[in-house]
């Protein structure tokens, strides 16, 4: 058995900055209202025709591969996490394989929304642990802005989300005291519709149904979130899955050098920080700049923390996420 170790990180966000004041021109909201409830000050939105979920993932991946010291042909497998693929099918994993000019390696798409990157890390980790692959490219990338309701009707969701991509290269590590020590994955589909985008879908409501009805009040193809219910569940599940990871490795909160939580809401991160007794220097948040970028949020934050020297060799790093599904997950890493 081997461990997998993160050997390269990269991220990409669009140049187009959208502030809270910008949104207040489109809907009945304001900077104070958004910051008080979410901590978000601005986010990035793609410009149509310039960036897609795949193209941003490719840009982040190129940086991660270069930093890993590997050649692109050393990549054995691709795991791509997203809720916003370029096409209904095929998924973006194969598009990345094409755009990077990789040999005919396998490509897997992960649809676990906010916890997608941690799920993807877990999948890559298992492939490396068993010896099947040596170097796996893991990407989290999202374009939310083109599918949001930018009116007062949709403000409770639309002010939260942004676009961006992050990537990591996981490589074989023979020292099993280093790298990904464990991952922990959970789901509770009972609450699937509390945070969901129902249509178009093959099961109940497809594009033809939407067009036939031509109902201006139809919101089935717009994201829905029961905000208070999601918040209450998130703070519980975040805590549980972080504790699960710590206990599995005989660690305590005092052993955490850096917690990188999914950037869902700054208030959730602050609650978790307080509960675990962590200092500001032990938690990395960047939702203020980028909003919630779903599967991209952890790799973007992890890359920034590493670039700023906040993560160093020997550090214990904890990744944790909760989101649509409901799904939640954690990863414990010895850097």
Would you please indicate which residues are annotated as catalytic (active-site) residues? 114, 262, 292
CB contact at 8 A, 143 and 293: no
Peptide bond into 326 cis (omega under 30): yes
Q: Which residues contact 259 (CB under 8 A, 6 or more apart)?
A: 242, 272, 273, 276, 278, 282, 283, 284, 317, 318, 320
The Cα–Cα gap between 227 and 117 comes to 22
The Cα–Cα gap between 321 and 328 comes to 5
> From start to end of the chain, where are the E strands?
3-12, 17-19, 42-44, 77-81, 106-110, 135-142, 164-173, 179-187, 195-196, 224-225, 258-261, 316-323, 327-334
CB contact at 8 A, 170 and 5: yes
Q: What is the DSSP letter of 270?
A: H
CB contact at 8 A, 162 and 173: no
307 C-beta neighbours (distance < 10 Å), count = 13
CB contact at 8 A, 111 and 192: no
């Amino acid at each position: 058995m081997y461990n997998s170790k993160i050997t390269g990180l990269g991220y990409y966000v669009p140049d187009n900055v959208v502030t809270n004041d910008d949104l207040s021109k489109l809907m009945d909201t304001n900077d104070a209202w958004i910051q008080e409830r979410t901590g978000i000050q601005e986010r990035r939105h793609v410009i149509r025709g310039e960036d897609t979920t795949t193209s941003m993932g490719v840009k982040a991946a190129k940086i991660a591969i270069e930093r890993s010291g590997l050649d692109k042909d050393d990549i054995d497998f691709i795991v791509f996490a997203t809720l916003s693929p370029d096409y209904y099918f095929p998924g973006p994993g194969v598009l990345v394989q094409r755009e990077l000019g990789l040999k005919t390696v396998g490509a897997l798409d992960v649809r676990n929304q906010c916890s997608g990157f941690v799920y993807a890390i877990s999948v890559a980790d298992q492939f490396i642990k068993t010896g099947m692959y040596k170097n796996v490219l893991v990407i989290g990338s999202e374009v939310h802005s083109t599918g949001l309701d930018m009116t007062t009707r949709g403000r409770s969701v639309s002010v939260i989300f942004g676009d961006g991509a992050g990537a990591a290269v996981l490589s074989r590590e023979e020292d099993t005291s280093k790298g990904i020590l464990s991952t922990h994955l959970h789901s509770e589909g009972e609450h699937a519709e509390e945070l969901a985008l129902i249509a178009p879908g093959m099961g109940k409501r497809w594009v033809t149904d939407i067009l036939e009805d031509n109902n201006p009040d139809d919101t089935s193809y717009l994201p829905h979130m029961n905000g208070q219910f999601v918040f209450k569940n998130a703070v519980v599940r975040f805590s549980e899955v972080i504790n699960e990871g710590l206990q599995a490795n005989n660690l305590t909160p005092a052993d955490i050098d850096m917690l990188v939580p999914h950037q869902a809401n700054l208030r959730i991160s602050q609650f978790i920080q307080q509960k675990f007794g962590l200092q500001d220097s032990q938690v990395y948040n960047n939702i203020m700049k980028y909003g919630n970028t779903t599967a991209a949020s952890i790799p973007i934050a992890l890359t920034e923390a590493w670039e700023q020297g906040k993560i160093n060799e020997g550090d214990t790093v904890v990744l944790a996420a909760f989101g649509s599904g409901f799904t939640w997950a954690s990863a414990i890493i010895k850097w």
